[in-house]
Structure formats: C-alpha cells, structure tokens
Structure 1
Amino acid sequence: MILDGVEAPEKKELRNRRGVRRYLGRGGMDVGRWPLIAPLPSYGRGRERPGGSHVVVRYVTILAPADSPNTDDGIDPDSSSNICIEDSYISTGDDLVAVKSGWDEYGIAFGRPSHSITIRRLTGSSPFAGIAVGSETSGGVVDILADHITLYNMGIGIHLKTNVGRGGMVRNITVSNLYMENARTGIKISGDVGDHPDEYYNRKALPVLKNVVIKNVWGERVQQPGLIRSLKNAPFTDICLSNIHLGGARPCQCSHVIGAAVQVSPSPCAQLSPASS
C-alpha cells in the first residue's frame, strides 16, 4: 500500500486499520488520505496507485521469495510525479524499483508521464533488475535520479527497457554511486523488452530514449558488464558512461547507440568511445 501524497511512518508497518488510525494524527485527520485496502495475497503484483504525486516512501522493507511463482516488482511508480523512495531494503523475484508510465496504446492515450522521481540509499537483491525504467514507458519517463544504491546477487544492476509500440520519451535519467556484487549483467539498455496488452498496439510507435548518465558504478563478480541495444529505427542517443568499473573479461556489447564513455572498464564498445562524443 502506498499512501497517496503522505509520508510513510518511519520504521513502522501499516498492516491493519488499527495501524492506520495510530498515525492519523501525523498524516492529518482526513481519512481519505489513508486508504484502507484488503490484506494482500501472497502472490501477484499487489496494489498499484497509478498517477500518484508527492509521495515519500522511507524505511520500508519489502520481502518476497526470489523463486516464488508470480512474485513481482517491489515498488512501481507508474504515471507518477514528485516521488521519493529512500532508505529502504527490497528483496523480491522481479525488479526492485521500476519506473513506468503506461502500456502501449493505453499509456499513449492516458498521456501522463512519470517525472521528478528520486531513488536513493536503496539496498536489495533480485534475479531481475535493481533500478529499472520500463518497459511500459508509453506516457514518457523524465527526470529520474537513482543515487547511492547497493545491490547483491542480481540479475541486472541497471535496466532501462522499452519496445516497439510503446512510443513515449525516456530522457534525463541519472544513475550514480551504485555498487553491485554478483550480477549476471551490470548495465542493460534494451529496445526490445516486454510484451503487449493486445494486438492493437501501434507498430509505428517507436520510443525515444536519450540523455542518460550512468556514473560512479562499481561491481564485483559481474559476468557481463554492459549490453546496450536499441531499435534500428530509433537509436538511443546521448548515452554517457563515466567512472564505471565492473570487472570481468567480457566486453560491452552495443548496437544503434550514440554516446560517450570515459574511465570505463572493461573497455566500452566503439560506439561509446570518447571519440564518438
């Protein structure tokens, strides 16, 4: 449960009506600001509050078995703005935090971007991604900052993902000061991820992904440091990698991307060399 526009109580869990009433004084006496919902089942995505604004999530612990069927993302700001997620621990079977903004033609029609979102001092583990954007980005995702992130036993450290039919613009994404240990892939930016709600999506709606800065990233036991693969007709542009050291012997793999890389090891692909900036 995310309380729309209200800071979550510190180091407490709101699991029942008594817990909610206990903090009404701190959040205001308007009961409408503290929505009461039925207990969550032990499976599935849980509750979503698309379109939320001015929400702080702090001192939250989210736990779900990594191998449990239907385990889903930890926190999904969807078509939301002015969100802060901080000082929390998440361990799930899918992405820890995934910023989204609607799915294909429905997200395009709704037209509400996710923007002004900060994720900081987050720790977690997952067989999927630590910090993710997408793949549902049809309404646009703009001005996202993830800072001071610590990840263990990950599938992917950072994953920006979209697909044909999404449309929308993903821009001004910054990830900094991230440490990962034991990951299959360090950084992945993909243009072919995610399915579609139905067969009516617009195959000409291509996403735009630009102005991405990933800096000050360290990793140990990272099998594949980087995979950056855009759509041929919608290349990723202005991708900047700086001071990234992920170890491992495999080189970064890229296609249809324009950007630059400085102080990156292993050596980045040619499309992200300093000379290409």
Structure 2
Amino acid sequence: MRSHPVLGYGLLVLFVFWVTANRASSSSLHCKRYGGDETRPHSVTITEFGAVGDGTTLNTKAFQNAIFYLNSFADKGGAELFVPAGRWLTGSFNLISHLTLWLHKDAVVLGSTDPADWPIIDPLPSYGRGRELPGNRHKSLIFGSNLTDVVITGENGTIDGQGSGWWQRFRNKTLDYTRPHLIELMNSNEVVISNLTLLNSPFWTVHPVYSSHVTIQNLTIRAPPNSPNTDGIDPDSSDHVCIEDCYISTGDDVIAIKSGWDEYGICYGRPSTKITIRRLVGETRSSGIAIGSEMSGGVSDVHAEDLFFYNTNNGIRIKSSPGRGGYVRNVYVSNVSLLNVTTAFRFTGLYGEHPDDHYDPNALPKIERITFKDIRGKSITVAGLMQGIEGDAFGDICLYNVNLQVSASPPWNCSNVKGYSDFVSPQPCELLEQCVFPDHCSECYHLSSDDDDEQRNQKRRKGARLLSW
C-alpha cells in the first residue's frame, strides 16, 4: 500500500500492523491488479496541443483536441495522453475507449472555478432528476460514457476539483443545477482508476454508474470535513467493482454504494452487485461504508474487509426508506477496526428524501443477510443504532466476534430488526441475541454452515482470545 502522508505516521503504523497481524483471517477476495507499467502503442503529451501548465490558462480545448486526435488510434491498440509536471486548468472533458490518461507525479489538473466550464447534461435515468435539484446536472470534470478499456492513472499526480465555490453556492442555495462529480464514467466496462490524489470534488468524487469491471486502487481522496456531499467513491448501479488500498478523508461517506432513487431506480432496475472493498483507511463526519439511501435497484454481494475508520460518525451504515423498494442482501464485512467513532453500526429505515411526490409509499425495501465479523473498536459512543421499518423488519442480521469499548448506556438501540450473534461485547440487544452457532449459520451470509462439531468447538474456545484487540 502506498504511503499516505496526511494520515499521520502513528495511525498509518497502527493500520499496517493491524492488517499484517490479521492477514491470515481475511477471506480470499481477488481483484485484478493494475501495475501501472502497461503501455499503449501511441502516446502524446498535452503540451503538443497547446496546453499551458501555469494554473491560469484554460486548457479545456487542448484536452478535447488531444483526445479527439487519439481516438484515431482506438482500433490500433489504444493510446496514452500524458500530462507532465505543471498546473493544468481545465473545464470538463470526455474520455474515449482504449485510452490511458497518465499524470506525472508533479502534474496537477485543476477544475475551472467558472460553472460555465462544466456543461449541463441530462439527469441519470435511475434518479429521474438531478440529485440536489429538479432537472439537469453539471457534467463531471473527467467524464466518459459507453466506453471500454479506460485507465486514469499516473505517478500519484493530482486532480483538484477546486470545489469551494460549489460548496458555497450549495450552502447559499444559489445553485441552478446539481453539482458535478470529479470523475464519472457511465455505461462503461473495464475501467481502472489508480495511483492518484483526488482533491476537493464539487460533489461525489469518483462515480462509476451503470458500469462493469471497475478497479479503483491506490487513491488518496481528500476534501475538508465540512465540505458538503463530497463522498469518496460511489459505485452506483454497477457490478464487479473492486476498491482497494485507498485513504479517504472527506465531508461525507467514505464509500457509498447506490442503485437509483425511488420509482426511477425501481423502473431502471439495475443493481449494484459484486462489490469488493479491501484495505481502506477513512475519516469522515458521516459513514465509513454506507449502502443507500438510494438503493432502489438493489444492492447485493458486497464483501468488505481490512478496514480502519477513525474520527467518524458511523462505521457501517445501511440507509433506506418506504418508497425505495429494492433490496440490500448478502453483505459481509469483516476485519474492521474503529477508533473514535460515534456509532459503530447504524441501520436507518426511515431516511426519507424523495425525488418527488410520485413514489409509492408501499414500496418497501428488503434488507437481509447482513454479516459483521471480527470487528473491534475503541472510543465508541454507541455500539448499534439499528432501526428497521415497522412491518418490514430488517432480517438475518449476524454479528460474530465483535468487541467494542462503548461509553453509552444502553450500548444498543434496536427496533424492527431480527438476527443472531456470538462473541459480541457489549451484549447486543435482545432482537439479535439468538446464537449463530449451531443452528443459524445458514442465515448468516458467508459464515460456513457445514463446520463439523470439532471446528465449532475450536471456534468457541478461540472466541475469548479473538475478542482482544
């Protein structure tokens, strides 16, 4: 894992020590590795198209012209656009298939502070409108649609959205359209985003939507803690997404998995599935990993492991509401450390926020088979605030080997949830007190249900030792 200077030496050492010590207990999740040494047969430098890296010259046309030129090599093995050292101011530009955008370590791509340089585009069909305002939305700084084989990478170069003006307009309620993302790729396949520093996004930072086989590795993502809605990475109605070896400190969710909003997401019907998250360090005033609240197309098969969240409001959160429909199922989160976190686990069944008045209040979400395993936490205020929906309880919630140092009394607050637990401290709420072993393994996603008696006994004997951090 690359070093992250902003993390602080002490926290980084703690995280590396913890991952190393727990490596043997991790499940075998595999993601395609991008080594950064893959080369394209054709390459140009942005300066060949008149770009000036002085931080004040607007280079939108240079980026657009360079990529237009490189499109002629798409069927000849693809091409690379190299951004050398400098400060390269630009408005939005589109990528093409079979392209590598490569940033030198001292390259800084700066988003223009003029909203006119971020064009207006249609809303996403699974949202029916802009996420913040009815109607259209601004295009992201780096955008692509219907692409194959796209790489955005380099030597830890920087993309800075210069989002403070957008944040101020949001607070002042002077936006005309929904704010743009920093990077958004739609309806695309075989995407790699790696080895970059991403700063100050106007809105969500990395947004793969309606896409498949997306690999996101070795990113540092930062925005001020009071910056509104600057989520780190938001897989949205996408599948086979791998996120690993990232440090993220933003003003909103570190990772937020989504799949459309109320009746629009139900109609579009594309789930987020097969999402892998590994070796992640995060800090936020919101949640480390959030699912929802826009999950109307469904979310399933989420595997997350080797996580460290600190100075954070919520460790793991699932957000939904009547009117969402959809489902969240088969979620497995393991090997997590929490430090100075307000609520370790938070389920919200009445989140609200609807795109319009046309949603069906009887479209209830189905939340089931959620497993949290090998979780430890220090300086935790509340262990769990788990609130489902009356008449639509969140089911098969499983906690195994969870040890939290909690200050609140009572440590758990549960309603309209059902589930099981073993080796959990402090003692969970009554709705989760049935034992996982031996009768309820099959209800707990990814926990083995065919261990023999000796294996179960070994697990029980090891339980007390596993509870220590």
Q: Under a length normalisation based on structure 2, what TM-score does the superposition of the two structures give?
A: 0.53
The offset of 1:8, in angstroms, is 6.7
* Code of the aligned partner of 2:339: E
SS at match of 1:105: helix
The offset of 1:72, in angstroms, is 2.0
Q: Distance in 1 between matches of 2:222 and 2:34?
A: 17
Instruction: Give the equivalent residue in structure 1 for 2:326.
Output: 168
Instruction: Give the equivalent residue in structure 1 for 2:40.
Output: none
1:270 corresponds, among 430, 440, 457, to 430
Change in CA separation of 1:45 and 1:188 when aligned onto 2, cut-off 3 Å: farther
Q: Distance in 2 between matches of 1:59 and 1:122?
A: 10
Q: Do residues 245 (structure 1) and 368 (structure 2) align?
A: no
8 Å contact kept, 2:323–2:361: yes
SS at match of 2:233: coil
2:97 corresponds, among 17, 23, 32, to 32
Long gaps (5+) in structure 2: 1-31, 38-58, 80-95, 102-139, 143-160, 167-178, 185-206, 441-469
Q: Distance in 1 between matches of 2:400 and 2:333?
A: 11
Instruction: Give the equivalent residue in structure 1 for 2:375.
Output: 217
SS at match of 1:193: coil
Bigger Rg over Cα: 2
Deviations 1:172-203 (A, max 9, x none): 00110000100111111121124011111111
Alignment RMSD (CA, Å): 2.7
Deviations 1:213-233 (A, max 9, x none): 001111110101101110002
8 Å contact kept, 1:65–1:71: no
Matches within 5 A, 1:2-13: 10=36
SS at match of 1:159: strand
Instruction: Give the equivalent residue in structure 1 for 2:225.
Output: 66
The offset of 1:75, in angstroms, is 0.5
Q: Distance in 2 between matches of 1:168 and 1:184?
A: 28
Q: Do residues 83 (structure 1) and 132 (structure 2) align?
A: no
Matches within 5 A, 1:41-56: 41-42=162-163, 43=166, 44=179, 46=181, 47=184, 48-56=207-215
Higher RCO (CA-CA < 8 Å; seq separation 6+): 1
Long gaps (5+) in structure 1: 1-5
The offset of 1:50, in angstroms, is 1.3
Instruction: Give the equivalent residue in structure 2 for 1:228.
Output: 386
Instruction: Give the equivalent residue in structure 1 for 2:335.
Output: 177
Q: Distance in 2 between matches of 1:252 and 1:84?
A: 32
8 Å contact kept, 1:98–1:132: yes
Deviations 1:139-185 (A, max 9, x none): 00010011000111001000011111000011000110000100111
Task: Give % identity.
Answer: 42
Q: Distance in 2 between matches of 1:45 and 1:72?
A: 10
Q: Do residues 125 (structure 1) and 174 (structure 2) align?
A: no
The offset of 1:49, in angstroms, is 3.4
| Equivalent residues, number | 263
Q: Distance in 2 between matches of 1:51 and 1:99?
A: 12
SS at match of 2:263: helix
1:137 corresponds, among 286, 295, 300, to 295
Q: Under a length normalisation based on structure 1, what TM-score does the superposition of the two structures give?
A: 0.87
Deviations 1:220-249 (A, max 9, x none): 101011011100021011110011111114
The offset of 1:33, in angstroms, is 4.2
Change in CA separation of 1:270 and 1:74 when aligned onto 2, cut-off 3 Å: same
Instruction: Give the equivalent residue in structure 1 for 2:317.
Output: 159
Instruction: Give the equivalent residue in structure 2 for 1:3.
Output: none
The offset of 1:274, in angstroms, is 2.3
* Code of the aligned partner of 2:78: M
8 Å contact kept, 1:45–1:72: no
Change in CA separation of 1:9 and 1:109 when aligned onto 2, cut-off 3 Å: farther
Deviations 1:95-115 (A, max 9, x none): 000111000000001000000
Q: Distance in 2 between matches of 1:33 and 1:62?
A: 25
8 Å contact kept, 1:110–1:139: yes
Q: Distance in 1 between matches of 2:98 and 2:266?
A: 29
8 Å contact kept, 2:312–2:342: yes
Instruction: Give the equivalent residue in structure 2 for 1:100.
Output: 258
Higher helix content, 1 or 2: 2
Q: Distance in 2 between matches of 1:202 and 1:224?
A: 33
Q: Do residues 57 (structure 1) and 213 (structure 2) align?
A: no
Q: Distance in 1 between matches of 2:263 and 2:331?
A: 23
8 Å contact kept, 1:134–1:161: yes
Q: Do residues 192 (structure 1) and 350 (structure 2) align?
A: yes
SS at match of 1:254: strand
* Code of the aligned partner of 2:323: G
* Code of the aligned partner of 2:392: A
